[in-house]
Amino acid sequence: MATHPWNDFKMCGYSDFRVARLDDCDILDEEADEIERVISEDIRFDYTDDEVDFYIDNYSIEGILICYVQDVS
């Protein structure tokens, strides 16, 4: 029987994702606010605060948003 990595790590899917513009320009602060709102609405459509926590980092990589997602214990 094949084992899958999520059995060992007790997770399946992703732990983070990045959002960037297709035209190679930096995401502006005004755009970042709207993107963060859309991401939040999308995640919260399926998961409550008690199920999933997420943090959007717009400082580690200039012009790119990184969204970290994790289960709530």
Question: Per-residue pLDDT for the chain (73 aa), expressed as one digit of tens each?
Answer: 556 666 676 666 778 899 999 999 999 988 999 999 999 999 899 888 888 888 899 889 899 999 998 888 7
Residues 55, 68 contacting (CB under 8 angstroms): yes
Residue 5 has a pLDDT of 64
Tokens linked to 8:
């060992």
CA distance 49 to 71: 10
Residue 48 backbone phi and psi in degrees, to 5: -90, 175
Residue 15 has a pLDDT of 83
Residues 49, 68 contacting (CB under 8 angstroms): no
Residues 68, 15 contacting (CB under 8 angstroms): yes
Tokens linked to 20:
């960037």
